[in-house]
Amino acid sequence: MALTDEQQAEIDAARGEAGRTLRPTVPALEAMLFQAMPVLDHGFVRVVDYMGDDAAVVQAARVSYGRGTKAANEDRGLIRYLMRHRHSTPFEMCEIKYHVKLPIFVARQWIRHRTANVNEYSARYSILDREFYIPAADALAAQSDVNRQGRGGVLEGAEAARVLELLREDAQRNYDHYAWMLNADEAGRVLDPERQGLARELARMNLTLNTYTQWYWKTDLYNLLHFLSLRADAHAQHEIRVYAEAMLETVRAWVPHCFEAFSDYRVGAVTLSAQMLAIVKRMLEGEAVEQAGSGLSKREWRELMAMLGRPA
């Protein structure tokens, strides 16, 4: 359960206040505002605010006065052209703000995307909640044998059970000791009036990296799509990919033409190096090219065959 009753009540209260605006509005995204989408065991993503729509991308590309042509078909074509030719600035004219609850080790990956605005819950100032990410059974992956930063099959049996037990026990024990060191419970109530309590900015160091934190994260559509192209990718770590996938749904609702172009020209696209392109041309001429003599390393050959859906 990602949201406490209290949190949900607050969100519901805020949700009531609708206003009138002359700004572009997107009904499909309005319907998602104030809705927390659950992610992992205690996390969520919710859209807090947004600026612009598909037409704002077109408007910026045309630097016209109005909202761009009303011919939706032309707008779609222009957006596809911009995406295909990697024009970036018109997509920067849309902005979105999320509220995210996520484990600290995921936050550490996420924050490496620098072109965004962030306000994170401060553990110097406040006491963190007693919530930790514990992987579901099917996410408890073994280390990959072939990829140093990848996952292999799922752990099972006694090893899996022991891993889950350790993760749970260690996170809870460390949190309990964190609270003891603070001399305060989760709600900030003093535990022992005879003790002083360690400074919050120090006590937090005893917490484990699967402790949940939360932040407001705001970025423009161009940088959001770049983030999603990396983090919704099959090579991304599962624990950040599930956030990216939830955010993809918000993009689909918000800017459907941009989403479609992104799917076709980024997510589903492949890049062929000069050498790969030369090989594809030879294959199209009917030549039977093999790795030996192709000029590609074995690794690159495998990558090319995978793109072309052929056996390596």
- Asked if 207 is part of the footprint of its own copies (rule: CB under 8 A), the reply reads yes
Catalytic residue IDs = 231
- Asked if 294 is part of the footprint of its own copies (rule: CB under 8 A), the reply reads no
> Is 204 a known ligand-binding residue?
yes
Q: In angstroms, give the least distance from the CB of 4 to its own copies.
A: 10
Q: Which one, 1 or 63, has the nearer CB to its own copies? A: 63
For 43, the enclosing helix (H) or strand (E) is strand 43-51
Q: Name residues contacting its own copies, limited to 12-71 (CB under 8 A).
A: 13-15, 17-25, 30, 33-34, 49-52, 56, 59-61, 63, 65-67
Q: Kindly give, in sequence order, each residue whose CB lies less than 8 Å from that of residue 253, ignoring residues fewer than 6 positions away.
A: 26, 28, 29, 31, 32
Q: Which residue has the tokens 């559509």?
A: 221
Q: Name residues contacting its own copies, limited to 129-158 (CB under 8 A).
A: 133, 135, 139-144, 148-153, 155
Q: Which one, 15 or 249, has the nearer CB to its own copies? A: 15
Q: In angstroms, give the least distance from the CB of 17 to its own copies.
A: 7
Q: In angstroms, give the least distance from the CB of 170 to its own copies.
A: 5
Using CA atoms, how far residue 237 sits from 26, 48, 127, 181, in Å, is 31, 25, 28, 33
Longest dimension (CA), the chain: 85
**Cα separation of the two ends of the chain:** 45
Q: How many residues bind its own copies (CB under 8 A)?
A: 131
Q: In angstroms, give the least distance from the CB of 287 to its own copies.
A: 11
- Asked if 119 is part of the footprint of its own copies (rule: CB under 8 A), the reply reads yes
Dig out the tokens for 1 from the structure: 């359960």
Let me know: does 103 contact 40? Beta carbons within 8 Å: yes
- Asked if 93 is part of the footprint of its own copies (rule: CB under 8 A), the reply reads yes
Q: Name residues contacting its own copies, limited to 161-190 (CB under 8 A).
A: 163, 166-167, 170-171, 173-174, 177, 180-182
Burial of 96 (0-12, 13-18, 19+ CB in 10 A): buried
Dig out the tokens for 146 from the structure: 């072939």
Dig out the tokens for 38 from the structure: 């659950």
- Asked if 72 is part of the footprint of its own copies (rule: CB under 8 A), the reply reads no
- Asked if 117 is part of the footprint of its own copies (rule: CB under 8 A), the reply reads yes
Q: Which one, 275 or 291, has the nearer CB to its own copies? A: 275
> Is 113 a known ligand-binding residue?
yes
> Is 122 a known ligand-binding residue?
yes
> Is 217 a known ligand-binding residue?
no
> Is 108 a known ligand-binding residue?
no
> Is 111 a known ligand-binding residue?
yes
- Asked if 75 is part of the footprint of its own copies (rule: CB under 8 A), the reply reads no
Q: Give how far the C-alpha of residue 145 lies from the chain's centroid of Cα atoms, to the nearest Å.
A: 26
Q: In angstroms, give the least distance from the CB of 59 to its own copies.
A: 8
> Is 31 a known ligand-binding residue?
no
Q: Name residues contacting its own copies, limited to 253-282 (CB under 8 A).
A: 263-265, 267-277, 280-281
- Asked if 243 is part of the footprint of its own copies (rule: CB under 8 A), the reply reads no
122: DSSP letter: P
Q: Give how far the C-alpha of residue 9 lies from the chain's centroid of Cα atoms, to the nearest Å.
A: 26
Dig out the tokens for 82 from the structure: 């911009």
Q: Kindly give, in sequence order, each residue whose CB lies less than 8 Å from that of residue 71, ignoring residues fewer than 6 positions away.
A: none
Q: In angstroms, give the least distance from the CB of 223 to its own copies.
A: 10
Strands laid side by side in the 43-51 sheet: 37-39, 43-51, 95-103, 212-220, 117-120
Closest by CA to 85, choosing from 269, 279, 306, 274, is 269
Count, residues in the chain: 312
> How far is the C-alpha of 131 from the C-alpha of 45, rounded, in Å?
16
Tell which one of 92, 245, 253, 294 touches its own copies (CB under 8 A).
Answer: 92
